[in-house]
């Protein structure tokens, strides 16, 4: 079978392109299904930026250190086999980060091969510095030593690697009071604040490259006005609850009479909220080996936290036991072009609502998006799938290209999402009746139209608004408008898909 992967055609940066995936002799257009991960542990990543203007106290209102167009990045001496040096291509539009960004990592044994960090449409991202021919094997592109991470064991007893918590420091009391099940982000926020405050800690330097409150898309930092722009009352309420939790946590643990070494970590609630937003959107969760012990840990990992998300990621990561390194690899089975964005899949099967809640972004044509239908209408699953030549199991749908002459451009992640989310029925012994199918499809279309009509603005209004105001609005506002655009586009495409289904239905 021949085919290609689909699903991220509408990836936010528009940089990840369709790529031919060789799949054990079988090729197929894969539609936002699980990645080929080569037996690596799957991880969920939380990464989100905000630069602390003053790393020593509460203020963090300024912008993060801006990228500067540079020539060759000059790391420390004898650079053989080290951070790959990158030439800024004059044709490149995205600005390279300044040399210090590389230098501070290089001296701490961070090694990057053939990649560069640039300011792109989704903040800083990681891009290939060169063409790579079709990869038969995964290829290491980044190594980050554990010594510069901030990690916390996921379960009791709390353990930190490296252990940056001094004996008797009051931050330990806060960490110790957290719920092991629910509060991993509070623990990571506390450790981040401590790392930013600890002399000689790497994060005192790296903190300059985290997004500030002004640069962050995290909805934890959103105003009420920005939350209303979501046009999703449930999501807005969940964010309000998270904001309230941040406020309550700060009030409880940072009383007015708290001692200076605690007080200066977060002089005002906004600082804690920022740390929480940063922890939520930049943390990794994965098994980590320390000595003979394997344990799940939450981790903040500099440099690796600069990879943006794609549902069709180019890269994966794992913790390398022998030298305690985070290793990022380009997945095999791809051809990489210079300038291609290197991405992770932050959350397998994440809906746009989930991404918004944790990271503050949504993606168009997300194959895992869902719609809630309330009527009784259902269409026949196999019939719908065959109309679009989709094969495989629900979690692994792929577009079966061989069934047609060429790739159907209409088929993207939304169609797969539609196949997963539309109410369907299947009974092996019961054939569908085309006229019943058509009636059900029309009813489902009607329900979709009602959902669209319930929004206070149209897709066209939103697109115009975003185009007109993007330059003067906050990242949260833009993310909120983009979210409702993605939502409405999804619903519209389902209506179209049902039209196509009715046209293609077999009599």
Ligand X SMILES: C[S@@+](CC[C@H](N)C(=O)[O-])C[C@H]1O[C@@H](n2cnc3c(N)ncnc32)[C@H](O)[C@@H]1O
Cis, peptide link before residue 162, omega less than 30° from 0: yes
**Are the C-beta atoms of residues 25 and 17 closer than 8 Å to each other?**
no
423 vs 377: CA distance, rounded Å = 7
The nearer residue to ligand X, 154 or 476, going by C-beta atoms, is 476
SS (H, E, C) 367-416: CCCCCCCCCCCCEEHHHHHHHCCEECCHHHCEECHHHCCCCCCCCCHHHH
- By C-beta, is 124 or 171 nearer to ligand X? 124
Nearer CB in complex with ligand X: 213/379: 213
Nearest CB to ligand X, comparing residues 300 and 330: 300
Choose which of 7, 32, 49, 270 interacts with ligand X (CB under 6 A).
Answer: 49
User: Are the CB atoms for 332 and 137 separated by under 8 Å?
Assistant: yes
- Which of 337, 288, 346, 287 has the alpha carbon at shortest distance from 316? 346
Q: How far is the CB of 215 from ligand X (least distance, A)?
A: 7
363 touching ligand X, by CB under 6 A: yes
**Please, what is the minimum distance in Å from the beta carbon of residue 2 to ligand X?**
28
The three-state secondary structure class of 5 is coil
Q: What share of the chain is helix, strand, coil (3-state, %, to 5)?
A: 35, 15, 50
- Does residue 360 belong to the site contacting ligand X (CB under 6 A)? yes
Minimum separation from the CB atom of position 361 to ligand X (A): 3
In the list 7, 125, 138, 350, the residue contacting ligand X (rule: CB under 6 A) is 125
Binding mask 67-86 for ligand X (x = CB under 6 A): --------------------
Nearest residue (CB) to ligand X, 236 versus 300: 300
Question: Among residues 275 and 385, whose Cβ is nearest to ligand X?
Answer: 275
Asked if 211 interacts with ligand X (CB under 6 A), we say yes
Chain-centre distance for alpha carbon 491: 22
Going by their DSSP bridges, the two strands 111-112 and 44-47 should be labelled as unpaired
What is d(CA 423, CA 188) in angstroms, rounded to the nearest whole number? Answer: 40
Site for ligand X in 421-480 (CB under 6 A): none
* Minimum distance of ligand X from residue 463's CB (angstroms): 17
Whether 213 contacts 299, CB under 8 Å: no
Phi and psi, residue 327, nearest 5°? -120, 125
Options 122-130, 181-189, 406-414, 444-452: segment touching ligand X (CB under 6 A): 122-130
**Cα-based angle 268, 271, 276 (whole degrees, multiple of 5):** 130
Q: How far is the CB of 112 from ligand X (least distance, A)?
A: 15
CB nearer to ligand X: give 47 or 83: 47
Per DSSP, what are the bridge partners of residue 343? Answer: 308
**Cβ 277 to ligand X, closest distance in Å?**
9
CB 218 to ligand X: min, Å: 6
- Binding flag, residue 48, ligand X (CB under 6 A): yes
**Of all residues in this chain, which one has the CB nearest to ligand X in the complex?**
47
The count of chain residues that interact with ligand X, using the rule CB under 6 A, is: 21
359 binds ligand X (CB under 6 A): yes
Closest CA to 304 of 315, 296, 312, 295: 315
Range in contact with ligand X (rule: CB under 6 A) among 121-129, 364-372, 426-434, 452-460:
121-129
Range list of β-strands (E), 48-100: 95-96
Q: How far is the CB of 343 from ligand X (least distance, A)?
A: 7
Interface pick for ligand X out of 60, 128, 298, 308 (rule CB under 6 A) = 308
CB of 108 to ligand X, least distance (A): 19
| Integer Cα distance of 254 and 495 in angstroms | 52
Q: Is 366 in the site for ligand X (CB under 6 A)?
A: no
Which of 361, 384, 399, 490: binder of ligand X (CB under 6 A)? 361
Which listed residue (21, 47, 246, 275) binds ligand X by CB under 6 A? Answer: 47
Residue 97 near ligand X by CB under 6 A: no
User: What are the contacts of 439-444 at 24+ separation with CB within 8 A?
Assistant: 439/377, 440/377, 440/378, 440/379, 441/377, 441/379, 441/498, 441/501, 441/502, 442/498, 442/502, 443/375, 443/377, 444/373, 444/375, 444/377, 444/379, 444/494, 444/498
Q: Which stretch binds ligand X (CB under 6 A): 93-101, 103-111, 354-362, 368-376?
A: 354-362
Q: Check binding of 122 to ligand X (CB under 6 A).
A: yes
Q: Does 282 bind ligand X (CB under 6 A)?
A: yes
Q: What is the DSSP letter of 241?
A: H
- In the complex with ligand X, which residue's Cβ is closer, 95 or 408? 95
Residues pairing with 127 in the sheet: 116, 341
Mark residue 100 as left, alpha or beta (left: phi above 0; alpha: psi -120 to 50; beta: remaining): alpha
Nearer CB in complex with ligand X: 217/474: 217
Chain residues binding ligand X by CB under 6 A are 12, 47-49, 122-125, 211, 217, 281-282, 305-306, 308-310, 359-361, 363
């Amino acid at each position: 079978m021949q085919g290609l992967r689909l699903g991220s055609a509408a990836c936010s940066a528009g940089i990840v392109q369709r790529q031919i995936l060789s799949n054990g002799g079988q090729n197929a257009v894969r539609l936002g299904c699980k990645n080929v991960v080569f037996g690596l542990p799957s991880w969920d990543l939380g990464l989100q930026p905000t630069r602390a203007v003053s790393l020593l106290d509460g203020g963090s209102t300024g912008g993060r250190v801006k990228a500067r167009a540079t020539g060759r990045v000059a790391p420390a001496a004898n650079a053989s086999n080290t951070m790959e040096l990158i030439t800024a291509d004059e044709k490149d539009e995205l600005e390279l980060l300044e040399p210090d960004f590389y230098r501070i990592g290089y001296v701490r044994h961070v090694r990057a091969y053939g990649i560069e960090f640039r300011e792109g449409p989704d903040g800083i991202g990681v891009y290939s510095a060169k063409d790579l021919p079709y990869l038969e094997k995964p290829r290491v592109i980044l190594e980050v030593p554990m010594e510069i991470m901030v990690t916390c064991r996921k379960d009791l007893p709390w353990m930190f690697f490296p252990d940056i918590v001094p004996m008797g420091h009051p931050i330990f009391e806060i960490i110790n009071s957290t719920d092991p099940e629910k509060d991993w982000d509070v623990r990571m926020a506390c450790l981040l604040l401590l790392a930013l405050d600890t002399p000689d800690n790497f994060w005192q330097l790296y903190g300059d490259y985290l997004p500030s409150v002004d640069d962050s898309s995290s909805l934890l930092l959103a105003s009420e006005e920005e939350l209303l722009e979501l046009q999703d009352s449930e999501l807005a309420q969940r964010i309000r609850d998270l904001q309230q939790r941040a406020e309550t946590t700060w009030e409880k643990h940072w009383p007015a009479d708290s001692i200076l070494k605690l007080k200066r970590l977060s002089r005002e609630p906004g600082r804690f909220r920022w740390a929480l937003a940063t922890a939520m959107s930049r943390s990794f969760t994965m098994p980590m080996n320390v000595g003979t012990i394997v344990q799940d840990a939450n981790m903040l990992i500099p440099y690796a936290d600069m990879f943006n998300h794609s549902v069709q990621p180019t890269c994966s990561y794992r913790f390398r036991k022998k030298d305690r390194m985070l290793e990022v690899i380009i997945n095999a089975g791809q051809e990489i072009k210079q300038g291609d964005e290197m991405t992770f899949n932050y959350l397998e099967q994440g809906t746009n609502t989930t991404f918004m809640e944790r990271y503050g972004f949504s993606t168009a044509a997300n194959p895992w998006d869902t719609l809630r239908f309330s009527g009784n209408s259902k269409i026949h699953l196999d019939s719908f799938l065959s109309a679009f030549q989709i094969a495989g199991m629900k979690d692994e749908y792929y577009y079966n290209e061989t069934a047609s002459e060429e790739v159907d451009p209409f088929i993207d992640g939304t169609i797969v999402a539609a196949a997963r989310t539309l109410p369907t029925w299947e009974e092996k012994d019961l054939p569908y009746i085309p006229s019943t199918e058509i009636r059900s499809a029309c009813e489902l279309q009607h329900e979709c139209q009602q959902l669209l009509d319930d929004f206070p603005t149209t897709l066209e209004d939103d697109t115009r608004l975003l185009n007109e105001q993007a330059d003067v609005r906050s990242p949260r506002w833009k993310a909120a408008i983009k979210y409702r655009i993605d939502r409405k586009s999804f619903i519209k495409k389902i209506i179209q898909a049902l039209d196509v289904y009715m046209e293609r239905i077999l009599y």
